[in-house]
Structure 1
Protein backbone atom coordinates (compact mmCIF):
# COMPACT_ATOMS: atom_id res chain seq x y z
CA UNK A 1 0.00 0.00 0.00
CA UNK A 2 1.26 3.46 -0.90
CA UNK A 3 2.13 5.91 1.83
CA UNK A 4 -0.10 8.96 1.63
CA UNK A 5 1.72 12.19 2.35
CA UNK A 6 0.36 14.49 5.04
CA UNK A 7 0.22 18.26 4.65
CA UNK A 8 -0.27 20.59 7.60
CA UNK A 9 -2.90 23.34 7.44
CA UNK A 10 -0.15 25.98 7.61
CA UNK A 11 1.78 24.43 4.70
CA UNK A 12 -1.41 24.09 2.66
CA UNK A 13 -2.24 27.77 3.24
CA UNK A 14 1.24 28.70 1.98
CA UNK A 15 0.84 26.51 -1.11
CA UNK A 16 -2.61 27.94 -1.86
CA UNK A 17 -1.18 31.47 -1.67
CA UNK A 18 1.52 30.53 -4.19
CA UNK A 19 -0.46 28.42 -6.66
CA UNK A 20 -3.93 27.68 -7.96
CA UNK A 21 -2.74 24.29 -9.14
CA UNK A 22 -4.13 22.41 -6.16
CA UNK A 23 -7.34 20.40 -6.24
CA UNK A 24 -9.00 20.58 -2.81
CA UNK A 25 -11.28 17.60 -2.27
CA UNK A 26 -13.75 17.82 0.62
CA UNK A 27 -15.11 14.34 1.39
CA UNK A 28 -17.40 15.32 4.27
CA UNK A 29 -21.19 15.10 4.27
CA UNK A 30 -23.34 18.00 3.02
CA UNK A 31 -24.46 18.95 6.53
CA UNK A 32 -20.79 19.34 7.55
CA UNK A 33 -19.95 21.43 4.48
CA UNK A 34 -22.87 23.72 5.34
CA UNK A 35 -21.09 24.61 8.61
CA UNK A 36 -17.70 25.44 7.08
CA UNK A 37 -15.40 24.70 4.15
CA UNK A 38 -12.10 25.75 2.65
CA UNK A 39 -12.68 28.24 -0.16
CA UNK A 40 -12.26 26.69 -3.59
CA UNK A 41 -12.89 23.10 -2.52
CA UNK A 42 -14.74 20.52 -4.56
CA UNK A 43 -17.25 18.62 -2.44
CA UNK A 44 -17.70 14.92 -3.13
CA UNK A 45 -18.94 12.97 -0.08
CA UNK A 46 -16.80 9.93 0.75
CA UNK A 47 -19.54 7.45 -0.16
CA UNK A 48 -19.93 9.00 -3.64
CA UNK A 49 -16.22 9.01 -4.58
CA UNK A 50 -16.55 5.76 -6.61
CA UNK A 51 -19.25 7.40 -8.75
CA UNK A 52 -17.26 10.58 -9.37
CA UNK A 53 -13.70 9.37 -10.00
CA UNK A 54 -13.86 11.08 -13.40
CA UNK A 55 -14.38 14.45 -11.67
CA UNK A 56 -11.03 14.17 -9.87
CA UNK A 57 -8.06 15.34 -11.95
CA UNK A 58 -4.84 13.40 -12.17
CA UNK A 59 -1.33 14.76 -12.57
CA UNK A 60 -2.19 17.66 -10.25
CA UNK A 61 -1.69 17.93 -6.49
CA UNK A 62 -4.84 16.78 -4.69
CA UNK A 63 -5.36 17.68 -1.04
CA UNK A 64 -8.13 15.63 0.52
CA UNK A 65 -9.79 16.67 3.75
CA UNK A 66 -12.60 15.75 6.11
CA UNK A 67 -13.33 16.74 9.71
CA UNK A 68 -10.23 15.27 11.40
CA UNK A 69 -8.33 13.42 8.66
CA UNK A 70 -9.54 9.82 8.95
CA UNK A 71 -12.09 9.67 6.11
CA UNK A 72 -9.80 11.67 3.84
CA UNK A 73 -6.96 9.20 4.42
CA UNK A 74 -9.30 6.34 3.50
CA UNK A 75 -10.31 8.18 0.32
CA UNK A 76 -6.66 8.82 -0.58
CA UNK A 77 -5.92 5.10 -0.25
CA UNK A 78 -9.00 4.30 -2.36
CA UNK A 79 -7.78 6.69 -5.08
CA UNK A 80 -4.38 4.96 -5.15
CA UNK A 81 -6.14 1.59 -5.48
CA UNK A 82 -8.01 3.05 -8.45
CA UNK A 83 -4.97 4.23 -10.37
CA UNK A 84 -4.19 7.66 -8.94
CA UNK A 85 -0.49 8.41 -8.39
CA UNK A 86 0.25 8.74 -4.66
CA UNK A 87 2.94 11.34 -5.48
CA UNK A 88 0.08 13.81 -6.10
CA UNK A 89 -2.08 12.92 -3.09
CA UNK A 90 -2.02 14.68 0.28
CA UNK A 91 -4.11 14.20 3.38
CA UNK A 92 -4.79 17.38 5.36
CA UNK A 93 -3.35 16.69 8.82
CA UNK A 94 -6.09 17.16 11.41
CA UNK A 95 -8.71 17.93 8.75
CA UNK A 96 -10.78 21.08 8.59
CA UNK A 97 -10.83 21.24 12.39
CA UNK A 98 -7.06 21.82 12.43
CA UNK A 99 -7.44 24.28 9.52
CA UNK A 100 -9.91 26.29 11.62
CA UNK A 101 -7.56 26.28 14.61
CA UNK A 102 -4.39 27.20 12.68
CA UNK A 103 -5.37 29.13 9.54
CA UNK A 104 -8.96 30.45 9.45
CA UNK A 105 -9.40 31.15 13.13
CA UNK A 106 -12.82 32.79 12.57
CA UNK A 107 -14.16 29.64 10.86
CA UNK A 108 -17.10 27.88 12.51
CA UNK A 109 -16.11 24.59 14.20
CA UNK A 110 -18.15 21.54 15.10
Structure 2
Protein backbone atom coordinates (compact mmCIF):
# COMPACT_ATOMS: atom_id res chain seq x y z
CA UNK A 1 0.00 0.00 0.00
CA UNK A 2 1.32 3.39 -0.95
CA UNK A 3 1.43 6.06 1.75
CA UNK A 4 1.90 9.80 1.82
CA UNK A 5 3.17 11.75 4.82
CA UNK A 6 1.41 14.84 6.07
CA UNK A 7 4.38 16.96 4.95
CA UNK A 8 4.21 15.48 1.44
CA UNK A 9 0.47 16.18 1.34
CA UNK A 10 1.03 19.74 2.54
CA UNK A 11 3.59 20.24 -0.25
CA UNK A 12 1.27 18.80 -2.90
CA UNK A 13 -1.61 20.98 -1.72
CA UNK A 14 0.65 24.06 -1.81
CA UNK A 15 1.61 23.23 -5.41
CA UNK A 16 -2.09 22.77 -6.26
CA UNK A 17 -1.42 19.27 -7.55
CA UNK A 18 -4.56 17.70 -8.95
CA UNK A 19 -5.80 15.12 -6.47
CA UNK A 20 -8.88 14.05 -4.57
CA UNK A 21 -9.11 13.88 -0.79
CA UNK A 22 -11.45 11.19 0.56
CA UNK A 23 -12.16 11.17 4.30
CA UNK A 24 -13.55 7.85 5.53
CA UNK A 25 -14.31 8.94 9.11
CA UNK A 26 -17.79 9.43 10.51
CA UNK A 27 -19.65 12.75 10.01
CA UNK A 28 -19.28 13.64 13.70
CA UNK A 29 -15.48 13.25 13.40
CA UNK A 30 -15.40 15.25 10.17
CA UNK A 31 -17.21 18.11 11.97
CA UNK A 32 -14.46 18.27 14.62
CA UNK A 33 -11.67 18.70 12.08
CA UNK A 34 -11.07 17.99 8.41
CA UNK A 35 -8.98 18.83 5.38
CA UNK A 36 -12.00 19.19 3.12
CA UNK A 37 -12.53 16.76 0.30
CA UNK A 38 -15.19 14.10 0.04
CA UNK A 39 -16.67 12.59 3.20
CA UNK A 40 -17.45 8.93 2.55
CA UNK A 41 -17.68 7.04 5.87
CA UNK A 42 -16.00 3.64 5.67
CA UNK A 43 -19.32 1.82 6.12
CA UNK A 44 -20.78 3.70 3.15
CA UNK A 45 -17.85 3.03 0.85
CA UNK A 46 -19.32 -0.02 -0.94
CA UNK A 47 -22.39 2.03 -1.92
CA UNK A 48 -20.51 5.24 -2.72
CA UNK A 49 -17.29 3.96 -4.29
CA UNK A 50 -18.28 5.61 -7.58
CA UNK A 51 -17.48 8.98 -5.93
CA UNK A 52 -13.79 7.97 -5.67
CA UNK A 53 -11.94 9.02 -8.80
CA UNK A 54 -9.63 6.70 -10.71
CA UNK A 55 -8.03 9.24 -13.04
CA UNK A 56 -6.03 11.28 -10.49
CA UNK A 57 -4.22 10.48 -7.21
CA UNK A 58 -6.61 9.97 -4.29
CA UNK A 59 -5.46 10.56 -0.71
CA UNK A 60 -7.56 8.56 1.74
CA UNK A 61 -7.82 10.05 5.23
CA UNK A 62 -9.04 8.86 8.63
CA UNK A 63 -8.12 9.52 12.26
CA UNK A 64 -4.84 7.58 12.49
CA UNK A 65 -4.53 5.75 9.16
CA UNK A 66 -6.17 2.41 9.97
CA UNK A 67 -9.66 2.90 8.49
CA UNK A 68 -8.15 4.56 5.43
CA UNK A 69 -5.96 1.46 4.98
CA UNK A 70 -9.10 -0.69 5.14
CA UNK A 71 -10.76 1.54 2.56
CA UNK A 72 -7.74 1.29 0.26
CA UNK A 73 -7.65 -2.49 0.61
CA UNK A 74 -11.34 -2.69 -0.32
CA UNK A 75 -11.05 -0.33 -3.29
CA UNK A 76 -7.85 -1.97 -4.56
CA UNK A 77 -8.75 -5.61 -4.11
CA UNK A 78 -12.45 -5.50 -4.93
CA UNK A 79 -12.62 -2.71 -7.50
CA UNK A 80 -9.13 -2.55 -8.98
CA UNK A 81 -8.15 0.97 -7.92
CA UNK A 82 -4.43 1.70 -8.39
CA UNK A 83 -4.24 5.44 -7.60
CA UNK A 84 -4.74 5.48 -3.82
CA UNK A 85 -2.47 6.93 -1.13
CA UNK A 86 -2.96 6.38 2.59
CA UNK A 87 -2.35 9.47 4.73
CA UNK A 88 0.24 8.15 7.19
CA UNK A 89 -0.86 8.97 10.74
CA UNK A 90 -4.19 10.36 9.54
CA UNK A 91 -5.75 13.67 10.48
CA UNK A 92 -4.16 13.38 13.91
CA UNK A 93 -0.69 13.58 12.35
CA UNK A 94 -1.79 16.61 10.34
CA UNK A 95 -2.95 18.34 13.53
CA UNK A 96 0.20 17.55 15.48
CA UNK A 97 2.79 18.06 12.73
CA UNK A 98 1.32 20.62 10.33
CA UNK A 99 -1.51 22.59 11.94
CA UNK A 100 -1.36 22.82 15.76
CA UNK A 101 -4.49 25.02 15.74
CA UNK A 102 -6.57 22.11 14.40
CA UNK A 103 -8.82 20.42 16.94
CA UNK A 104 -7.73 16.94 18.03
CA UNK A 105 -9.82 14.15 19.52
- TM tier, smaller: over 0.9
- Which of 89, 97, 102 does residue 97 from structure 2 map onto? 102
Q: Which runs of 5+ in 1 are unaligned?
A: none
User: Does residue 16 of the first structure (1) align with residue 13 of the second (2)?
Assistant: yes
Q: In angstroms, what is the RMSD of aligned CA positions?
A: 0.9
Q: Which residue of 1 aligns with 2:67?
A: 71
Q: Which runs of 5+ in 2 are unaligned?
A: none
TM-score (norm 1): 0.91
CA displacement, residues 33-85 of structure 1 (integer Å, 9 cap, x when unaligned):
110001x3110000000001111110210000100000000100111011211
Q: Which moved further from structure 2: 62-71 or 12-21?
A: 12-21
Mapping of residues 1-110 of structure 1, within 5 Å: 4-38=1-35, 40-81=36-77, 82-85=79-82, 88-110=83-105
TM-score (norm 2): 0.95
- After the TM superposition, which segments of 4 or more aligned residues of structure 1 sit over 6 Å from their partners? none
The number of equivalent residue pairs is 104
